[in-house]
Amino acid sequence: MGPLWYHGGMDVSVKGLEPEVVARLAEQAEREGVSAQEWMRQALRRTAALLTPGELSDRVAARTPVSEERYQAAMETVKARRSAKASTAATAAKRNVRHRGS
Q: What is the pLDDT of residues 65-84, one digit of tens each?
A: 999 999 999 999 999 999 98
CB atoms within 10 A of CB 58: 11
pTM: predicted TM-score of the whole model, two decimal places: 0.53
Let me know if residue 48 belongs to a domain: yes
* pLDDT at 102 (0 to 100): 53
3-state secondary structure of 58: helix
Measured distance CA(78)–CA(96) in Å, rounded:
27
Radius of gyration of the chain (CA): 26
The answer to whether residues 58 and 31 belong to one domain is yes
Which residue pairs, CB below 8 angstroms and at least 24 apart, start in 7-16? 12/44
The answer to whether residues 47 and 79 belong to one domain is no
Contact in structure between 66 and 73 (CB atoms under 8 Å): no
* pLDDT at 11 (0 to 100): 81
The answer to whether residues 33 and 56 belong to one domain is yes
Let me know if residue 1 belongs to a domain: no
Low-confidence ranges of the chain (pLDDT < 70): 1-8, 93-102
Let me know if residue 81 belongs to a domain: yes
Contact in structure between 29 and 36 (CB atoms under 8 Å): yes
The H-or-E segment that residue 4 falls in is none
The answer to whether residues 49 and 86 belong to one domain is no
- Domain interval for residue 83: 66-102
* pLDDT at 34 (0 to 100): 96
* pLDDT at 8 (0 to 100): 67
* pLDDT at 6 (0 to 100): 61
